[in-house]
Chain A
Amino acid sequence: MDFITLIQVLDSTIRLTTPLLLACLAGLYSERAGIFDIGLEGKMLASAFLSAAIAYVSGSVWLGLLAGIAASVLLSALHGLASITFRGNQLISGLAVTMLAQGFTVLVAQDWFQQGGRTPSLTGAGRFTGITLPFADALEPVPVIGPIYAELISGHSILVYLAFAMVPLTWWILFRTRFGLRLRAVGENPAAVDTAGISVTGLRYAAVLICGVLCGIAGAYLSTALQAGFVKDMTAGRGYIALAALIFAKWRPWHALWSCLLFGLLQAVALRFQNIDLGGIVIPVQVMDALPYILTVVILAGFVGKAIPPRAGGEPYVKER
């Protein structure tokens, strides 16, 4: 494999990691606060659809992004209502959110655009385009550093940079701020938070809403940056892969980055090398495409070390008698 191919695969890794990373960090906020969320997939899907639809109609990708975030936050609020206020089962509620999004997006897309459940292709200001960082052109001819800077680091959309910047920011919020301390506490022992005079409900809603915003950005990225429009089920299980990455990362921001990069790399490799010929044995493309999902199953089956989730995760908070 030559240098340019390597750069291209890594470049593609970054693009494919971005939605996973955003969704993974979204899940991190929610689960650190004790609310399990298997509805990441649904929220991304709803946002992917609505952001593409609004971006197409308005011609502004920023309006599309806002609409996508709004859709995702709405579903988050629904999940919060079910699992925080009404103390319902968080898995069922998350599943319901995803199923709702899967059905509604196609239905509404068909009703609005009559294109078989997709949105029309986005062009121009309806899409996020790459940003060329300063000196990228000037540096390009420089060997090694040039391609790395110009191809790999420069030229991504703003959402990519945002996603990667969210990693240190999330770490800082979680471990250096009052909000982070309380957020982590409420996922471990909500009774400790309650007796310290802080609202458990308020904190958990805050976490769930942050989760909604991040999922919204992830979804909008899929349909307005990575692709140019919404197609049915375009999230393709990324919400679940993000959850697997979160468990793999043991609910820590920097680890989340590495595990999302791993999944992104697998997806990029599958895209780039369709059939791999290993001296007579050809690994078919389907095997490559399946790799991220196989890794997901392996991680969820607990083969990769023991991951201890936040102790109060999945449990509605009820004051004990």
Chain B
Amino acid sequence: MTAPAIELKGISKSFGPVQANKDISIRVRPGTIHGIIGENGAGKSTLMSILYGFYKADSGEIWINGNETQIPDSQAAIAAGIGMVFQHFKLVENFTVLENVILGAEDSGLLKPSLARARKSLLNLAQEYGLNVDPDARIDEIGVGMQQRVEILKALYREAQILILDEPTGVLTPAEADQLFRILHRLREEGKTIILITHKLREIMEATDEVSVMRRGEMVATRTTSQTTPEELAELMVGRKVLLRVDKAPAQPGGKVLEIRNLHVRDEKGVERVKGINLSVRAGEILGIAGVAGNGQSELLEVLGGMRPGTGEVLLNGQPVELVGANGRAIRDKGIAHVPEDRQREGLIMDFHAWENVAFGYHHDPAYNRGLLMDNAALRADTERKIEKFDIRPADGWLSAKNFSGGNQQKIVVAREIERNPDLLLVGQPTRGVDIGAIEFIHKQIVALRDAGKAVLLVSVELEEIFSLSDRIAVMFDGHVMGERLPDQTDEKELGLLMAGVSGPREATA
């Protein structure tokens, strides 16, 4: 039996009091695609960053191709034939593709020969693996799919034999993701070893040969992919049985709660991000907005939430909503609640206690006030109730928001907004960075609100989430609504095309 391409023995790593990796051991066979799956915060990225020399392990050994190897920094990792594509690309945005590729791997003090060699080498790699890029394009002028190919090329240019990809599909359309997996298979055929970190079960099942599961900093199992099931992996990830599908009754749509007519929105740079869209959401209905991040969905939510001005017409229960000079309070008073996309920046104040966060945006509510003073006792009592009802853990209202896990932070926001019993709930990326257990819970709450006859506008970049929650799906691309579909009359492939801006002939009747 050949030596494993990578063998980690007893790796531990702490960040202050948080132990990110506990005594982790793993073997990766050469020439395979090895998946590492786990929830956010399970320690996958930390482990791989240790392997790439970005962090130093507190203890443990790294063996490469049967030899123990010290990897104190990234240079040592590169020398050992390891390349890494980080979740957040490490590219210099105002450099060209070529300059990014040679950075740190220049042949000599002068750039000219290196640039010439890299240009040739890039052409060869492009042919060999289908990694097409324009070597002279600037990074900030190319799309994320191509940026990712640049990252892969960077690793291959350094002759990496082992390639680590951290959550590579988060920013890709389904078609781009398929293309990525074709490239990975091609690399495997050439004998390269690939480690794929992800929290998406589907990708593990489709692309990997073997899979290791991490939970709370520990390696809990390794399986041969063909001999396991998504259900088993999900259970290993969470530590208990989970429902992967949301159970919900068919929608009973009522009258139109939200109507958007010819809405235009510009961002702070004056670039038009929403280009005249028309949408409506009925009572008792969840409208899901699908799309690759950055196609105007965020701006749409922000306008409706009173965080950004826009032009056009928005009606709530037939009454016009201010689009310019609106503010969060006026919007909330009208019966719109908002779970913003970025809970840490817009949904919470991370250094404030949970009981303070639980009432943000509603501090003027008489229930929280006694004359001129805040009624802190009432606030804390309200917090106790919400902690209980939404199973927020740890159940301590005196903890700062930052001390809760992502899932529990999100529960605080969701509890605050849903408990106002709004006519319309705006919700952006409700489960980004949220563990599977909390996802299940948050999804149930959203569906319960719908069943109570309220309207929900959901924005998510996770197609799976869109499919499992939505009663109707609208796809946004480049500021336009490309089309609306009913979830049981479409599939990921069709939505993927719409997300990439390719228009389809079929239209759903809303």
Point out residues on A near B: beta carbons under 8 Å.
176-182, 184-185, 188-189, 191-198, 311, 319-321
Contact = CB atoms under 8 A, between A and B. Distances in A.
A114 to B, nearest CB: 50
Interface in B84-109: 84, 86, 88, 90-95, 99-100, 102-106, 108-109
Nearest to B52: A195
B112 A176 contact: yes
Interface in B112-127: 112, 114
Contacts of B244: none
A62 to B, nearest CB: 29
Contacts of B94: 188, 311
A80 B104 CA distance: 23
B19 to A, nearest CB: 13
28 contacts: A176-B110, A176-B112, A177-B110, A177-B111, A178-B106, A181-B99, A181-B103, A184-B92, A185-B95, A188-B93, A189-B90, A189-B93, A191-B90, A192-B90, A192-B92, A192-B100, A194-B74, A195-B54, A195-B90, A196-B78, A196-B90, A197-B74, A197-B75, A197-B76, A197-B77, A197-B78, A198-B104, A320-B88
B55 interface: yes
Interface of B: 15, 52-55, 73-78, 84, 86, 88, 90-95, 99-100, 102-106, 108-112, 114, 154
Contacts of A185: 92, 95, 103
B110 A196 contact: no
B104 A196 contact: yes
Contacts of A179: 109
Contacts of B103: 181-182, 185, 192-193, 196, 198
A311 B92 CA distance: 10
A87 B223 CA distance: 44
A178 B54 contact: no
Contact of A319 (B55, B76, B106, B112): B55
- Per CB-CB distance, the 5 closest pairs between chain A and chain B, nearest first, are A196-B104, A197-B75, A192-B90, A197-B74, A178-B106
A179 to B, nearest CB: 7
Q: Looking at A181, A196, A319, which has the most chain B CB atoms within 10 Å of its CB?
A: A196
A197 B77 CA distance: 8
B86 A195 contact: yes
Judged by DSSP, the binding face of B is loop
Nearest to B114: A178
Contacts of A189: 90-93
A178 B106 CA distance: 7
Nearest to B101: A196
B54 A319 contact: yes
Contacts, number: 76
B447 to A, nearest CB: 34
A181 B102 contact: yes
B74 A177 contact: no
- Residue among A177, A193, A197 with most chain B CB within 10 A: A197
A178 B107 CA distance: 9
Contacts of A196: 74, 78, 90, 103-105, 154
Nearest to A176: B111
B77, B92, B95 interface centre (most CB from chain A within 10 Å): B92
A185 B104 CA distance: 10
Contact of A178 (B15, B78, B95, B108): B108
A191 B77 CA distance: 16
A177 B102 CA distance: 12
B91 A177 contact: no
Nearest to A319: B54
Given A182-B104, A194-B74, A321-B15, A188 B109 contact: no
A195 B74 contact: yes
Contacts of A182: 103-104
A189 B140 CA distance: 13
Contacts of A321: 15
Contacts of A191: 88, 90
Contacts of B102: 181
Contacts of B112: 176
Given A188-B94, A195-B54, A196-B104, 13 more contacts: A178-B106, A189-B91, A189-B92, A195-B74, A195-B86, A196-B74, A196-B78, A196-B154, A197-B53, A197-B74, A197-B76, A198-B103, A311-B94
Contacts of B95: 184-185, 188
Contacts of A319: 54-55
Interface centre among A188, A192, A195, A321 (most CB of B within 10 A): A195
B198 to A, nearest CB: 19
A300 to B, nearest CB: 21
Contacts of A180: 111
A181 B106 contact: yes
Contacts of B75: 197-198
Contacts of A177: 109-111
B92 A188 contact: yes
B372 to A, nearest CB: 38
Given A177-B110, A181-B111, A319-B54, A197 B90 contact: no
B350 to A, nearest CB: 14
Given A178-B109, A181-B99, A193 B104 contact: yes
Contacts of B154: 196
A182 B105 CA distance: 11
B399 to A, nearest CB: 19
A198 B75 CA distance: 7
A198 to B, nearest CB: 5
A197 B100 CA distance: 13
A132 to B, nearest CB: 36
Q: Which of B84, B86, B95, B103 has the most CB of A within 10 A?
A: B103
A116 B112 CA distance: 55
Given A185-B103, A192-B100, A197 B73 contact: yes
B133 to A, nearest CB: 17
